[in-house]
Every structure is written in structure tokens, then in C-alpha cells.
A and B are shown apart, each in its own frame.
Chain A
Amino acid sequence: MKIHALISQATRVTRRYPLRSTLMTGGVLIGIASLALLTSVGEATKHLTMQRFKNMIGTFDTLMVRPGGAKSRGMPTLVNVPPTLRFDDAQAIAQLPEIKSVAEMQSAFDIDIKYRDKTASPGVFGVSPNWLALRSDELAEGNFFTEEQNSALARVAVIGTDVRSALFPEEDPLGKTIRIAEVPFQVIGILQSRGAGPAGGSLDNVILIPVSTASRRLFNRDYLTMLIAQLRDPNQADIVTSEVQTLLRYRHSIRPPELDDFTVTNPRATMARVTQAGNTLSRILTGVSVLALLIGGAVIMGLMSIAVSERRNEVGVRRSVGASQSDIVVQFMFEALFVALMGGLGGVAIGCGAVLLGARMRMMPANLLWQPFAQGIVLSLVIGLLCGIYPAWKASRIDPIQAIRF
């Protein structure tokens, strides 16, 4: 009951000195708003990166082998492919006992596709029939090509949704004949949309054709852009990675100190690196806003300390009508808590608004996480508590006799 009255005294005081209270609230408000906003941005970005990475990799129980040395680590580059990874390398890797299956891939990005008067230039991928399963991609309509069609160098194609909308805005593409570099192919399937990749570009602007057909009829190449090896046990990724390296070095007659002419990536490890980078980003952003919050806290502490000196008479009067030292401490603590909480709530509201606005303007995903906001409220209370201690203590030490002498 008494504490209730003291809280009410504290909130009244904050109303009686609106300018000072606004300044005190402002510091915390800016801190909490930036904390809530920046952590939201950080978390959302991390989330988005992971999602896009997943879109691109498909399954995680795989290794990716690309031609060329380690200079282009990270995301695979699909242009300027060195001719060092061959079909028989793929077959040799498939023989390893830890490998379930291997999918081969050749690609080209400068080929025109035509259907009647419409053209498109998507990425053309020659892939083995098990590609779909290894990427855990799915078909929206139709069928994928079979082992038999691959062996028979069949001219069949499965198209991505971007190609569909470019070439067949109004027609059903299934069964239609398109021309890939003037070679006619029949559309037999349509891929499910995969959304954006790690760099933000669409992953749906693709055409998949049998890899043998691509190799012999279209590209005239016997080397691969990439192969994907599926592991029997995803936990052995590291061991199998070095096994594949040893095998390929032997097959390519590479001896130390010569470097690999291929690169094996383990999607799990890459994913971990990406996540790590995202975490670092969030941490930096959090650090920045915690700094803002500390400044807000310092503002509260400074202004309250000044206020205590200005309010000596008030403290003396309160003591003379029956306030104990602890009553004074409680009142000043609640004043600090109250302004800090107001700042916290205001900051959360502004942070929330900014996140929603950002999402609306498509600058960031509409991914409103509650944690940064809950964190903000709790932090503002902690700040209020810590910053109230010194002024409250100072106020309680005021000698009432000195304070009420005119």
C-alpha cells in the first residue's frame, strides 16, 4: 500500500518536470529503439541468408566437387569452367563405399532459347537423372528425364518457372518443342519454384536437360561444371571429403607440392561459416545499440543527479513530514525505473514501427522477432535500476535541516 503511494509520487514527479523527464526518457528510447531495430535486422538477415543458402544447396548430406583450385572458395562459380573434372572422375567417386550416388552437371549461360517468337536466355544445365533427388528439388508438373532418356541422348527439357513465364505466358508448355541453340527439345516437366539464391538472384531461370545430351549434342564437352556426391552417412562428411581429395589427386596425378585442380566443398561446413558470419553481424549491431543504451543510462544518471541537487528542498520537506531515508531511496529509484521503462516502451514501439516500415518498403523481410523487444524492455529496466542507485543514494543522504533552511 505504502509502496503504491511512493510509486505514484515518483510518476507524479516525472510529470511535474516534463522537459527533464523527456530528456531522460529520450536517451533510453533511442538506445532501445536502435537495439530492437538493429537486432531485428541482424536476425532477419541471418535468417534470410540461411534460407537462400538452403535454396541453393538443397540437401545437406552431400559434397560438391568443382573443377579448379581453391581460389574461388565459397559459392560455386559456373562460368569459365576449367576442364579438369571429368565424367570418369564422377564414376570413380561413385565407386567409393561411403558414397550413395553421384550427380553430374554441365552448364552454359550464353545460349538462346526460343519458342516461336519468344526468346529467353536462362542457365542451361545438363544434369544426370538423379539430380532432382539429390537437390531435393520437386516438379510442379510433368516428369523428369530417365536413365534411358539420358543414355539415348534424348532431346527433352525440364524448365524453371521463370522460363515458363518468359516463353509460355499463356500456353501449357508440356509437350511443346523449344529450340536450345537451334536444337529442338521437347518440354516434359516444370520445376517447382525455388526462390532466391544467396546473392538474391532467382534460382528459377533454368533449363535442365540430360547431361549426356548436353555433352554430346549441345556443348561438345567431356568435363563437368560440378558434381554432387551424396553421402551414406552425413556425419562422415569430413572424412569422405579427404577421401575424395586423395582419389582425385591420384587420378589427376597431382603430387605435393602441386595444388588440387578441383575443390571439394562440404555444404554443412559452408553453412556453418555463413551462419557464423551472420552471428558476428548481429553481435556487432547489438554492441552498437548496447552502447547507445549505456549512453541513455548515463543521461538518466546525470540528469537525475542534477535533479537531486535541485530538489534538495523537496527531499527535506518529505523527510520533515515523515519520509525515512529508505522512502526517499524508493521514490528516486522508481522515478529512474519509470522514465527508463517509458523510454523502453517508446523505443520498442519505434523499433517495431521501423521494422514493419522496412518490411513494407521491402528493405528487409517482415520477420518481427519478439526477442529483441522483450530484451529491450528488460534492458531498460536494468538500466533504470542501475542508473537510479547513485542519485537515490545521494538523495537519501541529504541533510533535511540544511535542505529546508530557506
Chain B
Amino acid sequence: MIQVTDLSKSYSRGDKGLVHALVDVSFEIAKGEFVVVRGASGSGKSTLLNLIGCLDVPTSGRYLFAGEDVADYRDKQLARIRNQKIGFIFQSFNLLPRTTAIENVELPLVYLDGRVDRKRALAALERVGLAARARHFPNELSGGEQQRVAIARALINSPGLILADEPTGNLDQKAGAEVMGILQELHKEGRTILLVTHDDEVARYARRELFLRDGRIISDRTLPGHGHSTAIGGAR
């Protein structure tokens, strides 16, 4: 599903020279994997996710998404991939303000073909247990609820890849567990999930861990067992 070869990303900071956010990173992720990306703050985790999510372009290296070299794609084609193949979930939810939950969930449909289908959006909200909050505005929802609306938005076009950048970072334990429960279900449906987190509890949901330091992958290992996830599943 994802093949990354010698991927690098540098940011110029004017006089202060270049920041090497990612340096020669190579790995593959197969369809259906649940991978957690870990590392200290500033180690390049978000940068990696943005590159994989086609929101950013690498300085060098190769990135094949579903076998296609994304480097050749124009803005419109990248937008299409983000719209149909990838669902983003962010730490800060990133819902549109003054916009109801359901309208937020519908947003990807606007850029799919413009056919905004209320029923589909409502089904997506139902999926995350928030059908009753469809007409609420983000500032009327708790953090956990906002994040679930964001998940419904990420799901509406049924993408194969979910990219979650510290999705529980702004949530308390319980809301975080709810969000992770939903991600786990999505994984069980066969979706590929790439998760960034600082939280050991959250990291345990994944089966594989990529560890970054100063923009390089210093460890790529399979995580042992997943009895923990069943426990949470039971608690829900």
C-alpha cells in the first residue's frame, strides 16, 4: 500500500539554514496494517504523515501510494487522492467553526462530485455514535465528540488509509479510549492505519511501531500481543 524509499524533507528557515525534518526514510506498509509512529517531539512524525497524506511533497526520495509514484501527480490529482483514498484525523480536530457536525462530515462529498448526500453523512455520524448531535456546532460538542465527528468526516468517502496525528492528544482517558475503539474497528474492517502518538497506552493498539529520532527511523518492530485491545473492546 505504501512504499517509501530514501524519503527526505528539509525546510528552509531563511538565514538559519535548513531544517532536516526527515532524512532518508525507507519502509513499506502493507494493506490492512496498524502502524504507530513514535519519537520525541520534533523528530519528524507529523512531517512523515503529511508526506504520506499527499499534503506535502518530499525534498527527495520516492513515495509510491498503491503502486503509483505520487511525485508525478499534479495538485488536482493529489487532492483527489486525499479526498477518496485517505482520511485525516488531527490532534486539534480541525472542524470548521460555525458549521454543524453534519455539514462538517459532508465536506469531503463537496470535493468528491458535489453530490452532498445527507443520508450518507448521517450514517457516518451514526457509526461514531453521534447521530443525535448532527445539528450541533463544534463549540457545543465535547472534545471527544468533536474528534468522533472528525473521524466520521474522515470515513465518509470510505478511504483505505487512515492517518491519525495524535488523535487522543487533546482528550481525556475515556474519550481517548472511545476514539481508539473506533480506530480499532476501522482496522478490523481492513483499513490501513498509521497513527502518531506519545501515549504508551494508545500505542498498544498497533501491531507495528516505527520509531523516529531526528528525522531517521531508528527502529521498526512488531509489537507483542494485543490482549489489551480486547480488554478495551470489552469495556466499551
Contact = CB atoms under 8 A, between A and B. Distances in A.
Contacts of A17: 98
B115 A314 contact: no
B200 interface: no
Interface stretch (A123-131, A185-193, A320-328, A333-341): A320-328
Interface string A212-256: 000000000000000000000000000000000000000000000
B114 interface: yes
B90 A6 contact: no
Interface string B72-97: 00011011101110001011101111
B76 A6 contact: no
Nearest to A404: B94
Interface string A160-193: 0000000000000000000000000000000000
B223 interface: no
B55 interface: yes
A335 B32 CA distance: 41
Interface string B87-111: 0101110111111000100011111
Interface residues of A, number: 30
Contacts of A8: 116
A319 interface: yes
Given A317-B94, A317-B96, A400 B76 contact: no
Nearest to B166: A406
Contacts of B110: 2, 5-6, 9, 323
A1 B75 CA distance: 20
B114 A4 contact: yes
B91 A322 contact: no
Given A16-B98, A16-B99, A321 B88 contact: yes
Given A320-B55, A321-B82, A3 B111 contact: no
Contacts, number: 83
B187 interface: no
A150 interface: no
A20 to B, nearest CB: 12
A406 B83 contact: no
Contacts of A320: 53, 55, 82, 88, 94
B26 to A, nearest CB: 22
A325 B111 CA distance: 11
Nearest to A406: B92
B115 to A, nearest CB: 6
Contacts of B75: 324-326
B68 interface: no
Contacts of B80: 322, 324
A406 B91 contact: yes
A321 B116 contact: no
A346 interface: no
A102 to B, nearest CB: 79
A326 B98 contact: no
B79 A401 contact: no
Given A321-B83, A400-B55, A316 B94 contact: yes
A323 B79 contact: yes
Interface residues of B, number: 36
Contacts of B78: 324
A313 interface: yes
A55 to B, nearest CB: 61
Contacts of A394: none
Contacts of B157: 322
Contacts of B53: 320
B28 interface: no
Contacts of A316: 94
Nearest to A405: B46
A318 interface: yes
B172 interface: no
A322 B96 contact: no
B30 interface: no
B189 interface: no
Residue among B55, B79, B80, B88 with max Cβ neighbours from chain A (10 Å): B79
A322 B55 contact: no
B115 A327 contact: no
B10 interface: no
B113 interface: yes
Contacts of A314: 96-97
B10 to A, nearest CB: 14
B153 interface: yes
Contacts of A327: 79, 111
A324 B113 contact: no
B141 to A, nearest CB: 16
Interface in B48-83: 50, 53, 55-56, 75-76, 78-80, 82-83
Given A1-B114, A3-B114, A5-B110, A324 B79 contact: yes
Contacts of B218: none
17 contacts: A1-B115, A5-B109, A5-B114, A5-B116, A6-B110, A6-B114, A12-B99, A314-B97, A317-B94, A320-B82, A321-B88, A322-B83, A322-B112, A324-B80, A401-B55, A404-B92, A406-B91
Q: Please list the 6 inter-chain residue pairs (A to B) with the smallest Cβ-Cβ separation, ordered nearest first.
A: A322-B83, A5-B114, A2-B114, A322-B111, A324-B79, A406-B92
Interface of A: 1-6, 8-9, 12, 16-17, 313-314, 316-327, 400-401, 404-406
